Amino acid sequence: MIDPRILRDEPDRVRASQRKRGASESLVDGALAADQARRASIATFEELRAEQKALGKQVAQAKGPDAAEMKAELLARTKAVAAQVKEAEAAQREAEDAWTTALKQIRNIAADETPAGGEDDFVVLETVGTPRDFAAEGFEPRDHVELGKLLGAIDLERGAKVAGSRFYFLTGVGAELEFALINLAMEQAREAGFIPVIAPALARPEAMAGTGFLDQVDDGVYKIEGDDLYLVGTSEVPLAAYHSDEILDTDFLPRRYAGYSSCFRKEAGSAGKDTQGIIRVHQFEKVEMFVYTSLEDAAAEHERLLQWEKDFLDKLELAYQVIDVAAGDLGPSAVRKFDCEAWIPTQGKYRELTSASNCTDFQARRLNIRQRGAEGESNRPVATLNGTLTAITRAIVAVLETHQQPDGSVRVPKALQKWLGREVLTPIA
RNA sequence: GGAGACGUCGCAUAGUCAGGUCGAGUGCGCCUCACUGCUAAUGAGGUAUGGGUUAACAGCCCAUCGGGGGUUCAAAUCCCCCCGUCUCCGCCA
């Protein structure tokens, strides 16, 4: 959630952000009113409570010959106050709940740099490499479904048979490709100072809510039947909740984790989109970078995350573009988001392979993660950022399609050869 | 899955089975000061978080003893639920 102080002191800034995102501006006024009501109810409760405590003390201290009488009288008075306190407490809780509910509906304040508008209003920041010209090379590229079949790497039919549509088996070199990508990603992450992490793929509602994903339960997130647990759509969830309810020492920051986990997505709202192949699936593995840092350093760290993502795509020898995602297409937690989109030859367009978000203190506030303030300063929420190092399925799609050869074989990018143990993937039988 | 024990201020603990002056004692750690040629030792003081009020991170007030609810004028303390940890048994990779 956003900083209540910013809401109170600079409501126009919050309104402008909501407008930029295409979100409701009236939420801001609702939250401001709720804040006033909340503070008033707190004052009422505290006044009564202080009175109750004072009387209670007198009851305990009543001594002497007429103690019994005094006590009886005090008890009568304090009983009435107790009832009032109970009422005021209930009113306060209600006001407090209304306030947090209102506050949570407001999205993070979009960065000045973030383009206004919706999904199509992104700005291309950079284009790296040139899409391969198959026409000039004189052959028609095969899509990853066909290549996957030829190489014995992807089995979609049996994926559907066993688990349904949008499921798949990676077999043979397909499975090996996953391990190679993970190894390459983890190697890079480790060298950059990230701590490798195997994270739980299930999380509690607090962790989901803290990262802003609980709202997507209906169309995006799987819930475990009979348990209060959810399958995570990204290891951002467990990695963010990892330090929840903690106060981190300043020299602990920046803290960088590279989390590896399965990711589960319902894709309920995307019927008809990417129905072929493994571009959009219900389960895939991902290596995610997650950083805790100070608010001041967040924007710079965001750039660093982007650079690490680009480094990885470079290692896969892909052509890609970097876009600055528009405000309306950001998640509720992010102030700015960079997507790296790799060129997919058979689609003739760039598709998202990785994504880096700066969530500033939005998630940290919800998850109660703070950094210890300097001498004389109070503790304050940290900033959290996340970025994909590699999402396996889409990386495989891009690699197979980009580096295919006329006979259906696929050249293995240099960096991957070390981990895959071969230079070319050749069709089976 | 069955049986039991436990969860207190950075750490370790006291307080709970007799409810009130306990936001909470002690030791260690840490910070400041004093003493000391330096270090150590010793002595004095300090050392949680959130919120309200406020110019104030001065003061005052409120909340918080794993979380939530209940009993009571009053709850760390009594009752219920949940979460977590540990031990034993069963099961299992």
- pLDDT (0 to 100) of residue A182: 97
The answer to whether residues A291 and A359 touch, using CB atoms and an 8 Å cutoff, is no
Tell me the CA–C1' distance in angstroms for A295 and B25: 40
pLDDT at A247 (0 to 100) = 83
Could you tell me the residue ranges of all domains in chain A? 4-105, 119-425
pLDDT of A69 above 80 = no
A379 near A372, Cβ under 8 Å?
yes
Q: Is the pLDDT reported for residue A227 higher than 80? A: no
Q: Which residues contact A354 (CB under 8 A, 6 or more apart)?
A: A309, A312, A313, A339, A340, A387, A388, A389, A390, A391
pLDDT band of residue A11 (cuts 50, 70, 90) is very high
Nucleotides of B under 7 A from a protein CB: 20-21, 49-53, 57-58, 61-63, 69, 73-74
Nucleotide nearest to A245 (CA to C1'): B49
Q: What are A83-126's pLDDT values in tens digits? A: 888 888 888 888 888 898 899 899 999 999 999 999 999 999 99
Whether A372 is a known active-site residue: answer no
Contact A259, A238 (CB under 8 A): yes
Span A365-373, average pLDDT: 85
Q: How far is the CA of A307 from the C1' of B26 (A)?
A: 54
Residue A292 confidence (pLDDT) above 90: yes
Q: How far apart are CA A4 and CA A166, in angstroms?
A: 42
Is a pLDDT exceeding 70 seen at residue A129? Answer: yes
Q: How far, in Å, is the CA of A90 from the C1' of nucleotide B70?
A: 15
Instruction: Inform me whether the pLDDT recorded for A395 exceeds 90.
Output: yes
If you average pLDDT over each of A67-81, A219-233, A330-344, which comes out highest? A330-344
* pLDDT band at A351; cut points 50, 70, 90: very high
Separation of A196 CA and B3 C1' (Å): 39
Residue A271: helix, strand or coil by DSSP? coil
Q: Tokens standing for A331?
A: 């998640």
Share of chain A above pLDDT 90, in %: 65
Does A19 qualify as catalytic in the annotation?
A: no
Annotated catalytic residue, options A352, A372, A409, A411: A352
Cα separation, A366 vs A205, in Å, equals: 12
DSSP assignment of A30-64 equals HHHHHHHHHHHHHHHHHHHHHHHHHHHHHHHH--S
DSSP string, A71-104: HHHHHHHHHHHHHHHHHHHHHHHHHHHHHHHHHH
Catalytic (active site) residue A265: yes
**CATH architecture of the domain with range A4-105:** Orthogonal Bundle (1.10)
Q: Whole-number Å distance, CA A60 to C1' B20?
A: 5
From the candidates A166, A304, A370, A394, which is the catalytic residue?
A394
Q: What is the pLDDT of residue A375?
A: 64
CA angle A319, A320, A326 (to 5 degrees): 170
Active-site annotation holds for A157 = no
| Residue A377, nucleotide of least CA–C1' distance | B57
Cα–Cα distance between A181 and A175 in angstroms, integer?
A: 10
The nucleotide minimizing the C1' distance to residue A35's CA is B52
Q: Contact, A409 vs A424, CB < 8 A?
A: yes
**For all residues of chain A together, what is the average pLDDT?**
91
Mean pLDDT of A367-393: 87
Render pLDDT for A148-204 as a digit per residue (tens, 0 to 9).
999 999 999 999 999 999 999 999 999 999 999 999 999 999 999 999 999 889 888
Close Cβ partners of A304 (under 8 Å, ≥ 6 residues apart): none
A369 touches A243 (CB < 8 A) = yes
Q: Is the pLDDT of residue A273 over 90?
A: no
Q: Please tell me if the domain spanning A4-105 has the same topology as the one spanning A119-425.
A: no
Give me the pLDDT at residue A63, please. Answer: 62
pLDDT (0 to 100) of residue A82: 86
Q: How far apart are CA A142 and CA A345, in angstroms?
A: 9
**CATH dotted code for A119-425:** 3.30.930.10
**Residues linked to residue A283 through DSSP beta bridges, in sequence order:** A264
Give the integer Cα–Cα distance in Å for A250 and A261.
28
From A265, A304, A365, A370, the catalytic residue: A265
Could you tell me the distance in Å between the CA of residue A131 and the C1' of nucleotide B37?
75
What pLDDT sits at residue A65? 59
Average pLDDT estimate for A359-388: 86
What is residue A68's predicted lDDT score, i.e. its pLDDT? 67
Q: What's the pLDDT score for residue A173?
A: 96
How many beta carbons lie within 10 A of that of residue A297, not counting itself? 16
pLDDT at A213: 84
Query: Which protein residues have Cβ within 7 A of any strand B atom?
Result: A 4, 39, 42-43, 45-46, 49-50, 52-53, 55-57, 59-61, 75, 78-79, 81-82, 85, 93, 247, 370, 372, 376-379
A355 is catalytic: yes
